[in-house]
Chain A
Amino acid sequence: MITALLHHAVLVLRLNFRSRQAIVYGFLVPLFFLLAFGSVFRAGEPPLLAQMGQLLTITILGGACFGLPTGLVAERERGVWRHYRLTPVPLSALLAGTLVARALIIALATAMQLALAHAIYGTPWPAHPGSLAAAFALVAGAFLALGLVVAALARDVPAVQAIGQCLFLPMIMIGGVGVPLAVLPEWAQRLASFMPGRYAVEVLQPCFNHPHGLRHAGFSACMLLVIGAAAALAGARLFRWDAGRRLRRPELVWAGSSLAAWVVAGAIAVSAGHVAPVTLVGDEAFSAIDEAALARVAYNDLPPDDGVYTPLAPPQSGRRLTPRIQELIRHLDTWPPARTDDIGQNVRNLLAVAAIADITQEPAEAEIARAVFVQLQAQVAPDELSRALGWVALQPEGGTVIVAAPALGLRGELSPAIVRERSAWYAKKFLGRLLGRIPDPPAPPPSPSSPS
């Protein structure tokens, strides 16, 4: 039986790569989405990293809810599965072979997207590749199960397209898959909790840029598991090898149970408070930080300025800096990641420079941090700077984080979690000084070795 499964899986793979239509839908459409996302989100730092969860969800959704049922229904209509029925091998083994092949095809398409995003836009590799593999298996499994339900419900190939679009479009538009949840109104965000696409994005995205990877998305993973299990059960019960046999009314209960799992997941999410509005990143997010929020920032747990962690030089330390450090400080003013249209993210990126210098124990780490503070004050208006620093201090996980700044001579791929943590500490140190909560010694008269 295993031999039959593998033999069939290999055949499905071969036939897939001979079909022009399958290549277009399986690989060119994901490439199109990558370029479309790239054209919209290329200014992110790092580019596209915060959208990889959405991008991969679209690819998996397309391969599983269109690719799988289109192939299955076309073969059913041609009588191929009737022919298989005449062999001694159980159809479940052949169906498993089809699912394995389809999962590999989708995996190949997602790998292609990762590689091209890296090559074209410089998107970093996922921070947690192991987590990503597990998340992919979970999302692909759930969506392939939904694809089986679509195949069972569809009478013919055009019906697959119709049913597939009924699943695809809502998830793309208001399910947090295509249009980011953060720009959707609250009612749509709430509605998205009743669709598996949201959970898929929430399971995949942390594998790219969250310090805890998949562990950060335990709830979403559970919801996806519930939805996938219900679909798998319904898909297996409703599987039809004979195009002439229509679904009987009682059997539609199984399809209904698959959909009911969406409602159950949404109801659990709502009742458990897992649908709190998603905050915007960048400009919109930091501008939401008000006086009351700033008043919540605590400064009593900060490391000392002359300590090992997050050191900060006095305004004029008088220390002589090496030409490399002087060059780095000069370049802060023109460093592209600090000059995007997103002020909040610019502040976050500059703070990351101080954090990286601290973590990598640059010889002049304290002076670099001071230079960053000076640059921030020169570049951002005081009110906006306070709110942006408050945003980083209060929401260390917000926005995106850079983990290296090779253009400034700061190399070494660091853990995003540590960079975020140190960035938040520096944000507090700078904010405290801006708001007069932390005393800053007055600057002595300028000297030739001044970092600023």
Chain B
Amino acid sequence: MTAVRARDLVKHYGDTAAVRGVSLEVAHGEIVGLLGPNGAGKTSTLECLLGLRTPDAGSVAIEGSDTTMGAAGGRARVGAVLQSTTLQDHITPREALRLFAALHGQPRARADAVLEEFALADQARTAFAALSGGQRQRLALALAFVHAPRVLVLDEPTAGLDPAARRDLHDRIRARRDAGCAVLLSTHDMAEAQQLCDRLVLMDRGRILATGTPGEVIARAGLTAHVRVRARPAPSSVELGALPGVASCVDAGDTRLLHTTDPARTLAALAAVLARSACTIEEIHVAPPSLEDAFLHLTGRRFDAEGGAR
């Protein structure tokens, strides 16, 4: 049974179309990532799914049921981490978990068990304001999980975390997936999307550009690998551009950047050229095509580290 199904969602804010006909599905036991730059419509899509926004058009179904997320029944089946949500400064993780357990009709023991499970027992009596970023995000995930939902919706759950905290959170999300949960998360981090998600929904300007596994999304864009060469004296761009498999060669000072559809043949020919010209090789780097390349290819715009597109 499909855990989450959205059909043709549309959401406008005034004259601005934030979501334009988004349809997606998430099954139990998989992590689906909504990937896109800031303003792509990821959060609006998730908020429509969660019932925090009313879509102008389209429908949402949870676990095959016709109920929308705005209904209490839908809310009981979903756990959510909202973007940049904070709790009251003086609330402790134990109090927050016990409150949300009570609101979901769960016993107090369940809250205490989740506190342990998410490694927050040592901070049980610490004020929220005094928690680290990683601890806050763990608490947010724990709150989302306090009623053992079968569907998790996470809006940029690792934003602002250091690498260690991020890895820890990834492990916890994978554990939920392995336990049969459906996980739908949004991120503007290409590397995170590639590492964590089983399937991706690449979004930009309210529309879906591509869906599939990370490999499928890249392949669908028909992208090439990169070969970066730095040598003295720099080899001729014209000569390198004529190597087998090379689609284009970009000249950047003493560095040449080759796009190739056949990295193996290109590298063999490149080695021969470099040996013949007797130049000193300082660097050769081969990179497979990335999601960033796919985004660039599909939108004509580059995706920066902060989630912006230009």
Contact = CB atoms under 8 A, between A and B. Distances in A.
A19 B127 CA distance: 11
B85 interface: yes
A75 B76 CA distance: 22
B80 interface: yes
B175 to A, nearest CB: 22
B44 to A, nearest CB: 11
A85 B52 contact: yes
A79 B102 contact: no
A14 B104 contact: no
Interface residues of A, number: 24
B103 A89 contact: yes
B104 A88 contact: yes
Given A3-B102, A4-B103, A15-B91, A83 B72 contact: no
Nearest to A77: B86
Contacts of B90: 14-15, 18-19
Contacts of B185: none
A88 B103 contact: yes
B95 interface: yes
Given A78-B85, A79-B85, A86 B50 contact: yes
A4 B106 CA distance: 11
B28 to A, nearest CB: 20
Contacts of B100: 87
Q: Does more than half of chain A's interface fall in helix, strand or loop, or is it mixed? A: helix
B88 A4 contact: no
A87 B86 contact: no
B87 A78 contact: yes
A8 B99 contact: yes
Interface in A1-45: 3-4, 7-8, 11, 14-15, 18-19
A88 B91 contact: no
A80 interface: yes
Contacts of A80: 85-88
Contacts of A15: 88, 90-91
Contact of B75 (A19, A79, A88, A94): A88
B84 A7 contact: no
Contacts of B267: none
B120 interface: no
Nearest to B153: A86
A88 B72 contact: yes
A242 interface: yes
A330 interface: no
A89 B99 CA distance: 11
A125 interface: no
A286 B85 CA distance: 64
Nearest to B85: A79
A82 interface: yes
B48 to A, nearest CB: 13
Contacts of A299: none
Contacts of A86: 50-52, 75, 78, 80, 82
11 contacts: A4-B103, A7-B98, A11-B99, A83-B87, A85-B52, A86-B51, A87-B100, A88-B75, A88-B103, A88-B105, A94-B103
Interface of B: 50-52, 72-73, 75-76, 78, 80, 82, 84-91, 95, 98-100, 102-105, 127, 143
Task: Across the A-B interface, give the 4 residue pairs with the lowest CB-CB distance, nearest first.
Answer: A79-B85, A87-B103, A88-B72, A18-B90
Given A83-B85, A86-B82, A87-B100, 13 more contacts: A7-B98, A7-B99, A8-B99, A11-B95, A15-B88, A79-B84, A79-B85, A80-B86, A80-B88, A83-B82, A85-B51, A89-B103, A94-B103
